[in-house]
Structure 1
Amino acid sequence: MLNNKSILITGGTGSLGKALTAHILKKYPEVKKVVIFSRDEQKQFQMAQDYPNEPRLRFFIGDVRDRERLVRAFRGIDYVIHAAAMKHVHIAEYNPDECVKTNIDGARNVIHASLETSVQSVVALSTDKACAPINLYGATKLASDKLFVAANNITGWNPIKFSVVRYGNVMGSNGSVIPFFLKKRSGGVLPITNPHMTRFNISLTGGVDMVMHALEHSWGGEIFVPKIPSYKISDVAEAVGPECTQQVVGIRPGEKIHEEMITESDSFYTWNLGKYYTILPSTHKWKLEEFVANFKATKVSEGFKYNSGENTEWETVESLRSLIREHVDLTFEA
């Protein structure tokens, strides 16, 4: 799919961006170029050290808030993965204007730049917090999702496709709970927000696979949702530090006890694709019956919902320990 093609990743120096880069360079030896677009020169410098002799990899300093810079960066690009975002809930609550500028205005700029150039397909990364949001971060990502889905209606003659992938916490990503607990456990106390709190869990590999699936199979306008297990925050703490005391500190502003990825209202537009669910747009340029036949999709029942508290698949303390060794810290012992 990507051989002889050029792909750009906004926010490419983040955890998922780096994992996507490694995957693409390895799986597609004839990819023309992979462009890392981000605003942090130090992170770009550090990432470049991992690829000292890689002519296919390029670095482009820029901010998704800057439409003109995006247009220049997108020239000659075939595929775009939009991973740039302000993602920390409490920071967004304290800096709302900055969150809106990056997550909403940035989405609009990516759409505009894609339509102005020769980009063939765009996959935007979303979050479970965009589903029935109660915090600003989730609200901005919901707005971003809506913008990318609706962008398919204004393409005109342009065959470009826009789609969205929505998933839960990426295990081991920067700022996530497991690296936080690993740093804290030497002190003997692990702070947990609420003993009943649950979250969805996906590995970096799972996140990469999902993005590549959307890039290859999207028809335009879908929101892809993976079928992934949940975990209890208290079980994560037990997996990381069984000898540690768990100190309940309360939830932070804007946090939910359980995360959602599909609401009952979404069920009217949600289809089961096997490995993934997809929330289809209410209006689309393709025929639904052809989509259903092509993917052997089945409609979910009316009132179906998908949240981390009522999930049917769960990580255990032991499975979490195995996953931490595999995906986060190879030296981990507990």
Structure 2
Amino acid sequence: MLDLNGKSILITGGTGSFGKTFTKLILKKFPQVKNLVIFSRDEQKHFQMAMEYSDSNYPIRYMVGDVRDRERLFRAFNGIDIVIHAAAMKHVHIAEFNPMECVKTNILGAENVIDAALHSNVENVVALSTDKAAAPINLYGATKLASDKLFVAANNIKGNRNLKFSVVRYGNVMGSNGSVMPFFLKKRTDGILPITDERMTRFNISLNDGCKMVFDAIANAWGGEIFVPKIPSYKITDVATAIAPECKQEIVGIRPGEKLHEEMITVSDSFNTWDLGEYYAILPQKPPFNLEEYVKKYKAVKVEEGFSYNSNTNDQWETVESLRALVRTHVDANFTI
């Protein structure tokens, strides 16, 4: 059973949507946590977060820094037990037009996190990924795939250190910065909702469930896994209908780098993917642990060859009614139709 009391934890990108929710849950679940370091380059978000969680009332330290800055990370990792790497440049269309900025943050930043962990006493690193890293067609997805590969491979160079690197990969997060639900809620007053393509589908997960996946990875990772949750899909038109049935849905076309449907496990991944019950785990081709023991421990079942996990062929779907309930619960408690 996971117990983070007495542990020192650092969250890169800690002032973002995930970081704030994860911080809230840590303070609630593990009130005796030793230290929580919020590492982010956005000083304004630091200020806003500190208004809610002051460092005088909570074991929190706010540290301004960028994952591109290797020396700053080395200093930040001093005395840290667990690192959650959530910092990323994540907007697909912005990355398409600013490619090297995305590479510097998502790939070089990931390597800096790994180096800092290897040169400190960190025990566990969990990196957040995205469905766009599976068979990527955009630069953002390609950089996150490279990041995933770096974290998985880091287990091969840790030597005798008591250190594990793992990855959590999931789909669109309800209510996160830049996500579609808050966007539609804002646009509904215009009477028109822009729809990229009426066929578009996406995976759907709440911030709380995303955080739960990270807690599970901290507790259960042996090192090298890419954990993938079993979550429902939605149609973009159903989201629009759920939020603003009175609005016209105007097709505007897919933006640069976007897919019609997202994938979290490709057919090629199926050769190394295991069903762990609540979620899947994509393992390295040569795991840095005893595979037979792993399978026995988690009652893992190998997926069929040719298996893929695609938002369009998913067997779990949100409905207009369920989406409305989710908007009220996770995005806007005052939402009404």
Per the normalisation by structure 1, the TM-score is 0.99
Q: Which residue of 1 aligns with 2:228?
A: 225
How many percent identity over aligned positions?
71
Q: Among 199, 212, 228, which residue is 1:209 paired with?
A: 212
Q: Which residue of 2 aligns with 1:49?
A: 51
Letter in 1 for 2:299: K
Could you list the per-position Cα deviations for residues 61-80 of structure 1 after superposition, in whole angstroms to 9, with x for gaps in the alignment? 10000011000000000000
- Distance (whole Å) between structure 2 residues aligned to residue 219 and residue 54 of structure 1: 35
Correspondence list, 1:72-87, <5 A? 72-87=75-90
The answer to whether 1:125 aligns with 2:102 is no
The answer to whether 1:7 aligns with 2:9 is yes
Q: Which residue of 1 aligns with 2:24?
A: 22
Letter in 2 for 1:260: E
Paired residues of 1:75 and 1:118 also in contact (CA < 8 A) = yes
Q: CA deviation at 1:221?
A: 0.1
Q: CA deviation at 1:316?
A: 0.3
- Distance (whole Å) between structure 1 residues aligned to residue 82 and residue 53 of structure 2: 21
**For structure 1, which runs of at least 5 residues remain unmatched after alignment?**
none
Paired residues of 1:264 and 1:305 also in contact (CA < 8 A) = yes
Letter in 1 for 2:6: N
Paired residues of 2:276 and 2:298 also in contact (CA < 8 A) = yes
Could you list the per-position Cα deviations for residues 30-85 of structure 1 after superposition, in whole angstroms to 9, with x for gaps in the alignment? 10011100000000000000013423111001000001100000000000000000
Q: CA deviation at 1:181?
A: 0.3
Q: Among 257, 262, 266, which residue is 2:265 paired with?
A: 262
Q: Which residue of 1 aligns with 2:186?
A: 183
Could you list the per-position Cα deviations for residues 268-308 of structure 1 after superposition, in whole angstroms to 9, with x for gaps in the alignment? 00000011000001122210000000001100000000000
Paired residues of 1:8 and 1:34 also in contact (CA < 8 A) = yes
Letter in 1 for 2:162: P
Letter in 2 for 1:308: S
The answer to whether 1:142 aligns with 2:152 is no
Number of residue pairs aligned between Structure 1 and Structure 2 = 334
Letter in 1 for 2:218: L
Q: Secondary structure at the match of 1:108?
A: helix
How big is the alpha-carbon RMSD for the aligned residues of Structure 1 and Structure 2? 0.6
The range that moved more, 279-288 or 139-148, is: 279-288
Could you list the per-position Cα deviations for residues 184-219 of structure 1 after superposition, in whole angstroms to 9, with x for gaps in the alignment? 001100001000000000001110100110011100
Paired residues of 2:224 and 2:288 also in contact (CA < 8 A) = no
Letter in 2 for 1:51: Y
Could you list the per-position Cα deviations for residues 134-185 of structure 1 after superposition, in whole angstroms to 9, with x for gaps in the alignment? 0000000000000000000000111200000000000010100000000000
Correspondence list, 1:1-334, <5 A? 1-52=3-54, 53-334=56-337
Paired residues of 2:270 and 2:304 also in contact (CA < 8 A) = yes
**For structure 2, which runs of at least 5 residues remain unmatched after alignment?**
none
4+ residue segments displaced more than 2 Å:
52-55
- Distance (whole Å) between structure 2 residues aligned to residue 282 and residue 68 of structure 1: 33
